[in-house]
Amino acid sequence: MDYISISNLSKTFEGSDHSIPALKDINLSLPRGEFVCLLGPSGCGKSTLLNSIAGFILPSSGEIIVNGRPVREPGPDRGIVFQEYAIFPWMTVARNIAFGLEIKGASAIEIREKVDALLDTLGLREFRDRFPKDLSGGMRQRVAIARLLAIDSPIMLMDEPFGALDALTRRTLQDELLRIWRESGKTILFVTHSIEESLYLASRIVVMTYRPGTIKRNQIVTMQYPRDPTGVEFNEFKRKLGHLVMEEQERHTRDEMKSA
């Protein structure tokens, strides 16, 4: 049985005077432990699909099954990290990481051991008593990832988590995420509009069409880890995926010109 199974999924957002078709007939299966990137231009429904799997958005039709159970609402088996550093500004780094464990009713000893381990894992120990306002964007995103790891969700849903970071910080966190994935065996679904980022991270890339979002290409990435963005094989993949994404971007541009 696939760990995540999406069948005939469609989503239309209803407005007061018009409807916006966001997703149409999505069929996708993810085995346990896979790292999948959703790739496509803005407006192709990547975040809508991710939020549907998270249980924040209910589909108009179709079904999402996670570990044999239909998704009807958010659940602890599906943790999510957003681009906008979704951590509590009034809590220290350590308290942010501990929050989910406290909600679950973990003991004080378990919380302390888990928080200490994650502070070490993500290079945050010296920042444990700092508040988010004192941290860089990269450090805030490390805290968000640590908080997700603390509750030990088997599925990590990530919505362009590194999109606002500088190139060096982004690569550092990409490498950290790959290490965590290999060591934990978690299932990761990662939204990005960066072709290079998807190729650096994913074992499979799902290219989506411009609205309404459908699956244009379900691409297994056969390159070994660690991957070299300057290598011949990497850039051949990049050229092929770039062609697919640009087709959708050009379609988006034509539609905008028609409606202008």
Average pLDDT over residues 198-219: 96
> Distance between CA atoms of 71 and 59, rounded to whole angstroms?
10
Q: What is the pLDDT of residue 148?
A: 87
Reported confidence tier of residue 2, pLDDT bands at 50, 70, 90:
low
Hey, what domains does the chain have and what are their CATH numbers?
4-77+154-259 (3.40.50.300), 81-152 (no CATH)
Rg of the chain, C-alpha, whole Å: 19
Q: Exposure string (b/e) for 130-165, b if CB count within 10 Å is 16 or more?
A: ebbeebeebbbbbbbbbbbbbbebbbbbbbbbbeeb
More confident residue, 153 or 202: 202
Is the pLDDT at 5 greater than 70? The verdict is yes
Hey, is 9 helix, strand or coil? Answer: strand
Instruction: Give 176-201 pLDDT, tens digit per residue.
Output: 899 999 999 999 999 999 999 999 99
Mean pLDDT across the chain, nearest whole number?
91
Token pair for 243: 């062609």
Is the pLDDT at 1 greater than 60? The verdict is no
**Sheet arrangement for strand 69-70:** 19-30, 4-14, 61-66, 69-70
Rounding to the nearest 10 degrees, give the CA dihedral for residues 221, 245, 144, 229.
Answer: 50
Instruction: Give 101-152 pLDDT, tens digit per residue.
Output: 888 888 999 999 999 999 988 889 999 999 999 998 888 888 988 888 888 8
Reported confidence tier of residue 257, pLDDT bands at 50, 70, 90:
confident
> Distance between CA atoms of 196 and 241, rounded to whole angstroms?
10
Cis peptide preceding 226, ω within 30 of 0:
yes
Minimum mean pLDDT among 2-16, 83-97, 233-247: which range? 83-97
Instruction: Give 27-45 pLDDT, tens digit per residue.
Output: 999 999 999 999 998 889 9
Q: What is the amino acid identity at position 138? A: G
DSSP string over 43-79: TSSHHHHHHHHHTSS--SEEEEEETTEE--S--TTEE
The answer to whether the beta carbons of residues 58 and 226 sit under 8 Å apart is: no
> Distance between CA atoms of 94 and 90, rounded to whole angstroms?
12
DSSP letter, residue 230: T
Nearest in space to 47 (alpha carbons), one of 15, 56, 75: 56
pTM comes to 0.90
More confident residue, 253 or 143: 143
Token pair for 182: 């290999």
Q: What is the pLDDT of residue 260?
A: 60
